[in-house]
Amino acid sequence: MNKDMCVVCDDGILNIRVGAIIMKDGKILMVGNDRDYLYSVGGRVKFGETAEEAVVREVLEETGVQMEIDRLGFVHENYFYGDVPSNRNKLIYEISLFFYMKVPDAFAPISESFMEDNSKEHLVWASLDEDIKMYPEFFKTELKDPTDTVKLFTTDKR
């Protein structure tokens, strides 16, 4: 099995990630765990696969549903400090590609995924108006009025 596109450098870690934008009835499907925030369905690209292949694989792994890509929506450059055991307090530079997905009419996702620390992940239909912490943060504003334009966002929490 190919390894995740994660490169450990002297100064930090480089991740290449994909995320799925799964919208239904004005809500977005997000992932939660025992932390105080939600994050997008998705994960790291594996060496040898394309970003498109990665997002389809990640959606299937995290929801149990095979979905098709609609279009690329966002590119996100993100500097932040890790909060899971393998990267806790390490500086991470993550490049993420977020894809709008075609949502089937009978979409019934299930979650059976776990974090590296064995905490169970769960799926949440989140309203963009809810007072909850959500990553990426720009989802709350940008997904209220989506466009066909691919947008670049940079977040720097160094």
pLDDT, one tens digit per residue, over 45-97 is 999 999 999 999 999 999 999 999 999 999 999 999 988 777 888 999 999 99
Q: What percent of the chain has pLDDT over 90?
A: 79
Question: CB–CB of 55/63 below 8 Å?
Answer: no
Answer whether 155's CB lies under 8 Å from 140's CB: no
pLDDT of 114 over the 80 cut: no
Please determine, for residue 144, whether its predicted confidence score (pLDDT) is greater than 80: yes
The arithmetic mean of pLDDT across residues 127-139, rounded, is 95
The verdict on domain 6-156 having CATH code 3.90.79.10 is yes
> Tell me, what's the pLDDT at 112?
65
Full-model pTM:
0.91
